[in-house]
Amino acid sequence: MADTQRHPFLQGLSKHRGAPPTVVVIFGASGDLTARKLIPAVYNLGHDNLLPAEFHLVGYGRKAIPDAEFRTLAAAAIREFSRRELDAAVWDRIAANTTYVAGGYDERAAFDRLAAHIAAIEKKTGREVQVLFYISTPPSVFAPILDNLGASGLAAKHLGRPHHAKVIIEKPFGRDLDSARQLNATISAVFEEHQVYRIDHYLGKETVQDLLVQRFANAIFEPLWNRNYIDSVQITVAEEVGVGSRGGYYEQSGCLRDMIQNHTMQLVALTAMEPPVSLDAEAIRDEKVKLLRAIQPLATGPGGDVARAQYAAGLSAGKAVKGYLEEEGIAADSGTETYVALRLSINNWRWQGVPFYLRSGKRMARRVSEIAVNFKRPPGTLFADGDRFNLAGNTLSFQIQPDEGLSLILNAKIPGLETRTQPVKMSFRYATTFGSNTPEAYERLLLDAMIGDGTLFIRGDEAETSWKLCTPILEAWAADGREGMDSYPAGSWGPANADALLAKRHHVWRQP
Ligand code: BG6
């Protein structure tokens, strides 16, 4: 397809973004993520001609599944979950090179079989291919998989050469600081850091990447981006869904581990970090780590910086829904939080004194993720008369999802013969400017890993720094049991204890 006929998101892409011949091996091939995200991502990359000419997909899992059945399952996953309809011509090309290897994750001999399978593919292609291992299993088997990739020699395949092996590791990356350190140690015993791609799918979202562009490609923001002009920042990652059928997983996780430690902290880092010296992966990740290190430890006691809650029964999208404690697989006296709000202080030159408020929860009023930057008010001498002048603070909000875009609240004169004001909103919407059907996060991330660009992945020290902040909160909660756990009706904007976090500074949560 000629470049000019391509979707704006794809224009000019091919020149810089060619991946070498690749075998993608998915561990956990019959899992939920594989069906919902990974297979559709491969398919859509194929549809956009972004897969290398020599591309092979190998599913690996405990269940014995014949190749043909794996292909049928994959096609069904595309039909159900892909952003595009299945186009038989595109899928047939991928399916012709799609195979399956059955084996245990701690079964050393099975990894030798996998190595032989990959060697046979390589032999058939007649050239060196890179292998990209995608670990999309429950975390309990991360370590055996990594060990076996090491022992079988697969991790070191073509190491020192351009097409060396790589590994993508799905979340959760540990469940506290100790386990994250342990996982990093297991990884680094087998892989070199440049081979490792720790995923946080929020970094693959278009709007999250756009944060860097908005901040650093526009001269108007940088001079204002500091404690002199910014009053506070609110980051919301709200979901309308409850825990659904994932109760078993969620009970062991909770909102802090599931959403805050990774996705929300990444949004904080990108919003607040210093300009990197270049767009290189290391330059950007260095700045993110520096920022995360500047966040002060959070006070967990009453009146502190942290609020947690569980959703109670309520109305979601007009339907009566159960409370968390009544959901399937949840203990009646569960101490797992479905909502977290934090007040962060960033102790550096740029941000000292500017509170960063974070909140995330399930079963909230609606699905919305946004970053709202609230500016200070101008001196009140001219427009102080509250009867005539309805003034709002200027807020720049990055709408991460849905309805992706950017908006700025300004104050404007109401047309008429006297001077009255009202806040107005200036907006940019992705869908209006660029059209819809943008690539999914997993497409971008899979392509980046194939190409060897780690910018949108988490470095080991980054994961640990974020855990360093979150672990003391988890420890305090574990010691407190249910003490301090608030609740909020499903379909609401969250609990009262989260409002109290803001009240200290006379702030209130935005209604996104
Ligand atoms: C995942 C969490 O990482 O992110 C889920 O495990 C959550 O609990 C999901 O629902 C949200 O992702 P998105 O892209 O829908 O905002």
Task: Compute, in angstroms, the gap from residue 258 CA to the centroid of ligand 1.
Answer: 8
Confidence of residue 480 (pLDDT cuts 50, 70, 90): very high
Nearest CA to ligand 1 atom 2: 258
Question: Which residues are CB-contacts of 66 (< 8 A; sequence separation ≥ 6)?
Answer: 100
> How many other CB atoms are there within 10 angstroms of residue 407's CB atom?
16
Burial class (CB in 10 A: 0-12, 13-18, 19+), 53: exposed
Q: Whose CA is nearest to atom 9 of ligand 1?
A: 259
Q: Chain-centre distance of CA 220, in angstroms?
A: 28
Distances from the Cα of 484 to the Cα of 173, 251, 266, angstroms: 27, 18, 27
pLDDT at 17: 63
pLDDT of residue 335: 96
A 10 A CB-CB count for 52 gives: 16
The arithmetic mean of pLDDT across residues 29-54, rounded, is 96
Active site (catalytic) residues: 263
- Give distance in angstroms: CA of 356 to centre of ligand 1: 22
pLDDT at 15 over 50: no
What is the pLDDT, as a whole number, of residue 4? 34
- Cis-peptide, bond into residue 402, ω within 30° of zero: yes
Q: What is the mean pLDDT of residues 332-342?
A: 97
Every domain of the chain and the residues it spans: 3-170, 203-503
- Tell me, what's the pLDDT at 3? 36
Predicted confidence band at 1 (pLDDT cuts at 50, 70, 90)? very low
| Banded model confidence at residue 162, pLDDT cuts 50, 70, 90 | confident
Cα of 124 from ligand 1 centre, angstroms: 39
CATH number of 203-503: 3.30.360.10
Average of per-residue pLDDT across 375-387:
86
- pTM (2 d.p.): 0.94
Residue nearest to atom 15 of ligand 1 (CA): 239
Q: Which residues share a beta bridge with 485?
A: 308
Atom of ligand 1 nearest to the CA of 369: 16
Nearest CA to ligand 1 atom 8: 258
Question: Cis peptide leading into 172, omega within 30 of 0?
Answer: yes
Does residue 44 carry a pLDDT above 90? yes
Find the 6 Cα to ligand 1 centroid distance in Å.
Answer: 30
Residue nearest to atom 13 of ligand 1 (CA): 202
Q: pLDDT > 70: what percent of the chain? A: 97
pLDDT digits (tens, 9 = 90+) for 428-440: 999 999 887 788 9
Residues in CB range of 247: below 8 A, 6 or more apart: 327, 328, 329, 330
Does the structure show a pLDDT above 60 at 213? yes
Joined together, the tokens standing for residue 366 give: 């609606």
Q: Which atom of ligand 1 is nearest to the CA of 237?
A: 16
pLDDT tens digits along 397-430 = 999 999 899 999 999 999 999 999 999 999 999 9
Q: What is the pLDDT of residue 56?
A: 98
HEC string for 16-32: CCCCCCEEEEEECCCCH
Which amino acid makes up residue 225?
A: W
Nearest-atom index, ligand 1, CA of 253: 6
CA of residue 201 to ligand 1 center, whole Å: 8
Q: What pLDDT does 14 receive?
A: 47
Q: What is the pLDDT of residue 438?
A: 82
Ligand 1 atom closest to 241 (CA) = 10
Ligand 1 centroid–CA 141 distance in Å is 21
> Does the fold of domain 203-503 match that of domain 3-170?
no
| φ, ψ of residue 212 in degrees (nearest 5) | -65, -40
What mean pLDDT do residues 225-235 have? 98
The model's pLDDT over 3-13, given as tens digits with 9 standing for 90+, comes to 334 444 444 45
DSSP count for the chain of H helices, then E strands = 16, 17
Q: Which of 342, 215, 364, 181 is nearest to 288 (CA)?
A: 215
Q: What is the mean pLDDT of the chain?
A: 94
Closest CA to 9 of 214, 215, 269, 207: 207
Looking at residue 245, its pLDDT comes to 87
- Which of 263, 336, 364, 404 gets mutated to test ligand 1 (max ligand atoms within 8 A of its CB)? 263
Query: Homologous superfamily of 3-170 in CATH?
Result: NAD(P)-binding Rossmann-like Domain (3.40.50.720)
β-strand pairing of 339-344 with 306-312: antiparallel
Q: What is the pLDDT of residue 387?
A: 85
Residues within 6 Å of ligand 1 by CB: 171, 201, 239, 258
Q: How far apart are CA 311 and CA 132, in angstroms?
A: 40
What's the chain's Rg over C-alpha atoms?
A: 24
Element housing 360 (H / E): strand 356-361
- Closest-CA residue, ligand 1 atom 10, reads 239
pLDDT for position 171: 93
Please answer whether residues 510 and 366 qualify as being in contact, where contact means their C-beta atoms are separated by less than 8 angstroms: no
- Is residue 346 pLDDT above 60, yes or no? yes
Question: Does the structure show a pLDDT above 80 at 317?
Answer: yes
